[in-house]
Structure formats: structure tokens, C-alpha cells
Chains A and B, each alone.
Chain A
């Protein structure tokens, strides 16, 4: 595909997998102009999915799991956040006061963890530095209360139990059910209980953190129940890093909305956790590893060639490892109803299960079952059965 716009000065804000993929894609499609990348964290890009597992690493390990290096040749500014975007002047401002002009912009500034308080013993895990801080604390084996039973909360609960911490997890409803549906949610919850996690079904009303550095933290639930712990970990989702765009005029109701090719306007595209993609009747974010990559490819190509770029055609893939369960899913999730067992047992794991839900939803899950994602997708659509 040829480059038909004369960009000379493209800037990428954000240096996670989306920013990295955008840089690679621009270069592999012939963009030879100047390229600058602004990364808010002090690290070269690393694998964010690996963070929850980093809890289990030796305490001496302090390096993130870096992504393979790229030869994009960009000027990379690490540890500087963009704080403002002036669309009319085509310029961004960094937190050190520096202005960077651009003729094309890729916004991939990601998201940050939501929290209840600013207390130092309320932990969240979004960055490598977050993970390192929590890991150091967990190795003292405190009583841990985890707020939120999504994948991150359950993976951290699993790691904390492995380290030997007493773990209580507060979640409204069945953990993992809002991601995977009731069937797999129940499997995860049973596994968590079997590993000694106390699960509490409830909604957090208030987190009462003491003013002093020590002393227990109390969580008050809607039911009136109080839960106390030495350390709390909030895993209640992420919020897009859009503050720096507040005065840009690009946000609608606080959301950075893009078209089916990731475009915000002709010269600005967005990808990854910050981008709200059009759906049939609304916009949604897809904060997933493979989504960030696909969006970054589509958006950076659309920046170069406009409508000639194919629109985003994303097939979801999601995985989690917790309490000895490895679950990979493809298709429509969360999914309701009982699955059909498509295959059972593999050499390495006699308990492995390959599951399929048919009907309105086309969904497949591999529970401890090793199968390549292209095949899992075909299991979901009913086009493949392992022999």
C-alpha cells in the first residue's frame, strides 16, 4: 500500500503495546518521516498481561518483561506525560513544559486504575512499578483484601495465596461472571475457595483508611458488614487516560470516540485502552491485548492512507490464569447457559476441557486445554472438532 499523504512529523502519545505497534506499522508501510514517541512511564514498553504473574517472581527481579525491541528509529521520550493537546496548532505539551509539534498524531495513552482512596496501603496494579510495590508488600504476608473479582483481582488473589497471604475478595455477584458468564464464573469461584480465598458477595460502600501509616484498613459494605485488612488491592477497572485531552475539543462526554478505522479526525487517530470504538448502537472500549494491537495497526494505517485502510475487524481473545485454572476464550462473552464438552483430557492435563456454547452466541473456552487460538475460534463457530 502506498503512502499518499505527505506526513513528515508523526507523534505517538503512549508507549505500551499500542504505541509500539503503531510505530512498527507506520514504518512497515513506508513512512520515513520524523517519528517521536512520548511514554509516560520510565520504562521501555513491556508486557502488561505479564504483570499479575510478576507477583510470583523472585523479589530480586525488578525488570519488567520488555517487549522485543523495534527498529522504528523514533525519538523516544520516556517518563514524560503529555498534559495538553492543541489541535489548532497541532502541538502537544509535556509535563516538563516541552511542546512537540506534529502533522499526524496517534493517541495511545492507555488507561489508569480506578481506586477508592489515595491511601498508600490501597494498591492497584496497572504499571510495572505498581506491581513491584505490591509484590514487595505481599512478601511480608499481610492480610490482603481484594476489591473486585474480575480477572486482575482473581489473578492477584491467586498470587497472594501462593505467597501465603490470607486473602479476602469482595465482589458483587459471582467473580468472573461478568466477563465469562455464570458457568465459568462458578468454576473460578470454586477454585478460589478451594485455594483458601474467602469470597464475600457485596458492594463496597466506603473504604475507611486510617490517617496513620499502620493500623488496619476497614472496608464497609452496603450490607453493613465490615471487612478489615493490612493491605487492600483495588481491581475495580480502569479509566482512560484522557485528562490531557480535556481542553482539546476531541472528547464527547469525556470519551475519545473513533470511527471504524480508529480515526478521531483526518490527522489524529487513537488506539488501545483510550479509544471508544463504534458498535451497532453506541461506543465501547476493548481493553484487551489483542485489541490494542489490531487497533494500532488499523489506526496508523488509516492515518497514512485514509479510507484505503481496511476497517477494524476484531475477533476477541481473552485469557486468564488463576488458582490452577488456565482459561482461554474466543467468541461472545459473557455467555449464558451450559456448554457442550467438545473434548476432554490431554497428555499434559487429564482434566483439560474444551467447551462450546452454541445457539445465539458463538463461544468457545479452553479450560486447561492447550489449543492454538485460530483453532479455538473455529471451535466457537462450530467449524472444528479436535480428533
Chain B
């Protein structure tokens, strides 16, 4: 699986960072950086990725 970011939608809330600090973070200028895009199925990372996608209020993240 792969985390994908719809950059223009991202408003930099960083709620995804709160639930998945192992996968994504906002840099000092508030831009979202995806640190780990490829997600192995059945791992904790997959669960975090799902939560990150779900918590985004502007649906900027998806998991394919």
C-alpha cells in the first residue's frame, strides 16, 4: 500500500502527524512531509496509515 497526498488540499493541520508520527510530519514551514510512503500490510504502520487518512478533515490523504 502507498500513502498519497493531494497537496493542494492539505491545510497543514497535522492531525495525521499526531496519529502517525512514524509515517508523516509537518516541517517548520508547515508543509506535510511523507516520511514513509510504502506501507506493509498487516503492520502497526498500516493501522497508523489508516488512522492518518481517516483523521484528515480535508481528505487530503489516501491509501492505495
What is A's interface to B at a CB cutoff of 8 Å?
17, 20-21, 24, 28, 47, 49-50, 65-68, 289-290, 293, 317, 319, 326, 328, 346-348, 369-376, 386-387
In the bound assembly, the distance between CA atoms of A376 and B15 in angstroms comes to: 11
Query: Interface size bucket, B side?
Result: 20 to 34
The answer on a CB contact under 8 Å between B30 and A371 is yes
Q: Which residues of A contact B28 (CB under 8 A)?
A: 386-387
Our count of residue pairs bridging A and B at CB distance below 8 angstroms stands at 73
Write the chain B residue with the least CB distance to A352. Answer: B30
Q: Which of B15, B26, B57, B59 contacts A370 (CB 8 A)?
A: B26
In the bound assembly, the distance between CA atoms of A66 and B17 in angstroms comes to: 21
A319-B58 contact in complex given A28-B50, A346-B29, A347-B29, C-beta closer than 8 Å: no
Residue B53 lies at the interface, judged by CB distance under 8 Å to chain A: yes
- B9-44 interface mask toward A, CB cutoff 8 Å, 1 = contact, 0 = none? 001111101100100011011110000000000000
The answer on a CB contact under 8 Å between A68 and B61 is yes
Query: Nearest chain B CB to A44's CB is how many angstroms away?
Result: 12
What is B's interface to A at a CB cutoff of 8 Å?
11-15, 17-18, 21, 25-26, 28-31, 47, 50, 53-55, 57-59, 61-63
Q: Which residues of A contact B55 (CB under 8 A)?
A: 290, 293
Query: Nearest chain A CB to B12's CB is how many angstroms away?
Result: 4
The answer on a CB contact under 8 Å between B18 and A370 is no
Q: Which residues of A contact B53 (CB under 8 A)?
A: 68
The answer on a CB contact under 8 Å between B18 and A372 is yes
In the bound assembly, the distance between CA atoms of A289 and B63 in angstroms comes to: 21
The answer on a CB contact under 8 Å between B59 and A65 is yes
Q: Which residues of A contact B62 (CB under 8 A)?
A: 68
In the bound assembly, the distance between CA atoms of A105 and B58 in angstroms comes to: 28
Write the chain A residue with the least CB distance to B31. Answer: A370
The answer on a CB contact under 8 Å between B30 and A24 is no
